[in-house]
A and B are shown apart, each in its own frame.
Chain A
Amino acid sequence: MAALAGTPRGGWSSLRSGWSSLRWYVRGVLGGSAYDGYLAWHARHGHGRPMTEAEYWRSRSDHQEANPQGRCC
C-alpha cells in the first residue's frame, strides 16, 4: 500500500517504487500474496505453528475443491 502511495522521487528510485507497486498489484490480483495474508492473520489470531507455504497452498486447494466458484462467461 505504501508503495502505491509513495511520493515521486528521483528517476531510479521512482522506477523502483513503480516496479514494486506493479509487483504488489499483480501478486495481489493473481492471488500470490494469500500466504502473506494468512501469516498476518495467524500472527494475530492463530494458535501454534503456522502452516508452511507448501502446506498452506495445499489446504487452500483442498478448500477450493470443496467450495467451487464459477467463472463468468
Chain B
Amino acid sequence: MSQRSTTADEASRRPPAAIDAEAQEREERRWTPRKIVVWGAVALLGAVAWSMIALVRGETINAIWFVFAAVCTFLIAYRFYTKVIERHVTKPDDTRATPAEYAENGQDFMPTDRRVLFGHHFAAIAGAGPLVGPVLAAQMGYLPGTIWIVAGVVFAGAVQDYLVLFFSMRRHGRSLGQMARDELGRIGGTAAILATLLIMVIIVAILALVVVNALGESPWGVFSVGMTLPIALFMGVYLRYLRPGKVSEISVIGFVLLMAAIVAGSWVSQHPVLAEVFTLERTTIAWLIIVYGFIAAVLPVWLLLAPRDYLSTFMKIGTIVMLAVAIVVVRPVLEAPALSEFAGGDTGPVWSGSLFPFLFVTIACGALSGFHALISSGTTPKLVEKERQTRLIGYGGMLMESFVAIMALVAALSIDRGIYFAMNASAAATGGTPETAAAFVNGLGLTGVDLTPEALEETARSVGEESVISRTGGAPTLALGLAMIMQQLTHSGMTSFWYHFAIMFEALFILTAVDAGTRVARFQLQESLGNVVPRFRDTSWRVGSWVCTAIMVGGWGAILLLGVTDPLGGINTFFPLFGISNQLLAAIALAICMAIAAKGGVRRWLWIPAVPLAFAAVVTITGSLHKIFSPNPAVGYWAQNQVFRDALAAGKTSQGTATSPEAMQAVVRNTTVQGTLSVVFLALAVVVIVASLVSVVRTLRGVGTPSSEEPAVPSQIFAPAGFLPTPAEKELQARWAEHDGSRTSPVRSH
C-alpha cells in the first residue's frame, strides 16, 4: 500500500493503481511447461485421491486421501473456477477505489493487507459449525459428507461468500439486509430481514444446545469453560487500563491461563467437594448460559466480547493448524464404510431423515453457510484494499473453512464406530448406562461393530469423564477424535487434556457467537421496533437496549430449554432446524446476489449464482416440507405431534422414548414450536426467492430498477491480488516503492 497524493502534478507521476489488463491476461493465458506439470500433478493427485475415496472398497481408508482430495479440488477450483466468476460475473476493477480507500476513517474503514484480512475474515466465519455438522453427518458414512463438503463449497458456499463480499464492497460495505431492501423492494427486503432475525435466534439456540450437551455432568468441562470468563474479564481490564493495544501480548497471556484452566480442571474433577460443585445438570447449565447471554450482551464490548474474541481467534487459527499438521503426520486409518447402513433410510439414531435433503442441511457450515453472508457484508468489505483481492478473501476464506470441515469429518470417523453411535444417539435410545448403550448399539445391526460396556467405560476414563454415552451435539465426538489423533502425536497420557482442550475451544467459539449474535439481533430488533416506537432507534437508550436484549435472549433461551428437556433427544430433532435455517439464509443471500448480478448485466453466466440458489432452495424447501408433512413421526414434526396427542387423548402414560405424561406433553409442545418455525421459515424463504426472481425478470425485460452500486472513485493505491504477487504485480510494486521512496516520509512500515 502506498500514500495518496492530492495535487495534479503528483497524480501524473503516480504509478497506475492496477496492472495492465492485457499484460495480466497474457500472463494468465501463458502456459509454461512448469505450469503445465504443476497443474497436471495437482489434477492427477486429486483424481487418485477421489478414486481411493469413492471407488476403492477396502476394509479401511487412510485419512490422508481426504486431505489430498479436498486440497487438490480446492486448488483447481480456486485457480480456474474463480477466474470464470471474475471474468463473467464480478468483473473486479483495480482502478476503482474500495470503500476502505475512499471512506478510510482509521476505524472500521481501513485498507488492510490481503493476507492479514484473509486470516481475519477466516477467523470471523469459522466457528463451531464446520466442526459439528460433519460429525453428525458421519452417520451416513464418509462418502456423502465428503462429496457434499467439497462440491458444495466449490459451487455454492464459496461462491456465495465471494459474491456477497464483492457486491457489498461495491455498495460501501452495506449489510445483507440493506442490500435486500435496495435490490428486492419492500416486501422482499422485509422478509429477508425478518428471516435473518429468526434464523439468528435459532442458530444461537442450537449452538448453545451443543455447549450444554458437551458440559452436562462434566465437572472438568464446566470448570475450564467457566474459567474463560474471568480470564476474558482480566484480559479486558488489562487492555483497557494497563496496556492498551497490546493485543498479541494479552492473547498469549490469556492462552497460557486457558491451558492452566484445562490442567486445573483435571484436578477439580478428581476433588471430592469441587467435583460435586461443578457437576451440573443440563437444565442448570442451560439457565446459566441464558443468564450469561443476557449479561454478556449488555456489558461493555471492551470488557468481555472483545478480549474473548482475541482469545478465540488465537485459539482458532492455532488449533486448526495443529489439527492439520497432526492429521498429515499421524495419518489416521478410518474404519467407517463409504455408505453406512443408515444412508438408504430415514431412521438413523443420530438424526432422522433421508440422505436427501437432510445430509445437505446437516452439513451447513463447511459446504454452504448462509450465516457467512452476514460477515461477508459486515466487517470484511470495509477493510478490502483492492477489488481483485475479494477472490482470495471471499472464495479462498471459505475454502479454508471447508478444509476445517473435512478435518472434522476425518476426526469423527477415526473413532470406533460403536463408540460413535453410543455417543451420538439420544439418551432416550441408549438408556444412559454402559450396558444398555452397548446393547442398543449392537442391536443396530452395523457390520463389524461389537461394542462392549467396558470399551465405553474405558473411553470415558481416558478422557476424564464420568460417561461418554449420549453426549450428543457433535462437540464431544470431535473432541474425542481430536484427542485420539493428538495423543498419538504427543503422549497417550494426554488424551484427557486434548479432549478438554477441544471442548473448551469449541465452547469458546460458541459463547462468542452467542453474545455477538444476541447483540446483532438486538440491534435489528431495535431498528424494527423503531418504526413503531421511534425511541427504540436510539441504541444507546439503556431501557430500550435491555428490553430488546431480554426479548432476544428469551427467544433463543426458550428454544434452548425446549432442546435440553426434549424427551426425544434434543439435537436429534432440533439440528435439522438449524441446518434448514442456515441454508435458507444462504438461499436468501444467493437470491440477492442473483438479482444484483442480473442488474449488472450478467446474462448467460447468471447460472453461477442461480444453480447454487436452485439447489439450496430445493434442499431447504424439500427439507421443510418433509418436516411439515412427512407422515413418518421420526421425520415430520406434525406427524409426531399427532402421535403424541392421540396417545395422550387415549390416556396412555408413555409413548416411545417419552415415559411420562409430562414428557409426552413436552413432545407435543416441542413439535408444535418446531413445526411452526418450519412453516414460517418456508414462507419467508419463498417470499424472498420469488421477490428476487421478479427482480431478475424485470431486469431482463428492461423495466427493472437500477442497482444501488456506488459510483466509481479512481483508486490511488496498489496491492497484489493473490497471496503471492505475480511478475507483473511485482514490477508495479517496485514502481510504487520507488515512487513512495522519492516522497518525503514513508508512512507505513510494520
A: which residues have CB within 8 A of B?
Answer: 1-4, 23-38, 40-46, 53-54, 56-61, 63-73
Contacts and interface: CB of A to CB of B under 8 A. Distances in A.
Given A29-B317, A38-B106, A72 B300 contact: no
B398 to A, nearest CB: 11
Given A41-B110, A73-B203, A57 B523 contact: no
A24 B119 CA distance: 12
B309 A71 contact: yes
Nearest to B750: A24
A31 B1 CA distance: 18
Interface band, chain B: 35 or more
Contacts of B108: 63, 67
Interface stretch (B121-129, B283-291, B457-465): B121-129
Contact of B750 (A33, A57, A66, A73): A33
**Sorted from nearest, which 5 A-B pairs have the closest CB atoms?**
A32-B247, A28-B116, A73-B129, A68-B519, A29-B119
B207 interface: yes
A71 B106 contact: no
A70 B519 CA distance: 8
A28 B247 contact: no
B301 A61 contact: yes
Contact of A73 (B120, B371, B522): B371
Contacts of B639: none
Contacts of A42: 106
Interface in B201-232: 203, 207
A72 B513 contact: yes
A41 B155 CA distance: 39
Contacts of B135: none
Contacts of B107: 38, 59-60, 63
Interface in B341-378: 365, 369, 371-372, 374-375, 378
12 contacts: A27-B750, A28-B750, A29-B317, A33-B750, A34-B245, A36-B750, A56-B244, A58-B302, A63-B107, A66-B539, A71-B124, A73-B513
Contact of B106 (A3, A25, A46, A73): A46
Given A28-B116, A41-B105, A56-B245, A73 B369 contact: yes
Contact of A1 (B4, B120, B124, B750): B750
A69 B247 contact: no
A72 B124 contact: yes
Tell me if A's interface is mostly helix, strand, loop or mixed.
helix
A34 B129 CA distance: 28
B115 A64 contact: no
A34 B126 CA distance: 22
B273 interface: no
B379 interface: yes
Contact of A72 (B116, B129, B239, B523): B129
B372 A72 contact: yes
B7 interface: no
B313 interface: yes
A73 B244 contact: no
A66 to B, nearest CB: 6
A71 B244 CA distance: 23
Contacts of A1: 1, 113, 750
Given A71-B127, A73-B127, 5 more contacts: A2-B749, A63-B107, A64-B301, A72-B127, A72-B374
A61 B302 CA distance: 6
A6 B717 CA distance: 22
B380 to A, nearest CB: 10
Contacts of B309: 71
B112 interface: yes
A34 B113 CA distance: 12
Given A46-B106, A70-B378, A30 B115 contact: no
